[in-house]
Amino acid sequence: MIVLASQSPRRREILLNAGFSIEVRPANVEEIPSESEDPEAYVLRLARDKAAASEARTEEFVLAADTTVAAAGHILEKPHSVEDAARMLRLLSGRTHQVLTGVCLRHGGREWCGVESTQVRFVELSEAEILAYAGSGEPMDKAGGYAIQGLASKFIDRVEGCYFNVVGLPISLVYRFLKEAGYGAPA
């Protein structure tokens, strides 16, 4: 059994669509970067902390992840307001940014951890497009303030790397870790 230490409906959906049986048991970990922490170290630390905080039996496979967006020298988490989402979209407009997901799998006293990085390029957005999308409600629970699989898909003209990483879980990296940990292959 895979225990998903996350409340993310997107992570749950990705795992289910890939054929895995999961049980959702979110871990409660404070998500605040330290002053000198770079985005890669930040998402890896949070994934490890979430995996460690999740209650699981020895035979279970605990999977935790954390995603953030790095743009123009800023870590862009989930926006706190429509205005915050608009601020993030202005930073992304016409630029390439990095989507980073830290993944940690724990099983039998061992752990497999890594970070997936995907480059995403936004087209230039008008202020009207920024305000309309920010006000749509879609950005509010998404790192970087956008959903590549939703309304924001029309703003993205290039993705270099794992698409599923941008959605919230680099499934090929997860699958590699599961195989290394001895988990049976899905149907």
**Which CATH fold topology does 2-180 show?**
Maf protein (3.90.950)
| 136-183 pLDDT per residue, tens | 999 999 999 999 999 999 999 999 999 999 999 999 999 999 999 999
Instruction: State how far the alpha carbon of 132 is from the alpha carbons of 29, 57, 72, 77, 136, in Å.
Output: 32, 46, 23, 20, 6
All structural domains of the chain with their residue ranges? 2-180
Tell me which of 49, 66, 84, 141 is the catalytic residue: 66
Residue 110 structure tokens: 């061992």
Residue 117 structure tokens: 């990085």
Residue pair 109/52 in contact by the 8 Å Cβ criterion = no
Three-state secondary structure readout of 24-68:
ECCCCCCCCCCCCCCHHHHHHHHHHHHHHHCCCCCCCEEEEEEEE
Our answer to whether residue 157 is catalytic in this structure is: no
Residue that is written with structure tokens 């992840």 in the block = 65
This model's pTM is above 0.85: yes
Rounded to the nearest 5°, which phi and psi values hold at 28? -95, 100
Confidence (pLDDT) at 56: 84
Confidence (pLDDT) at 185: 53
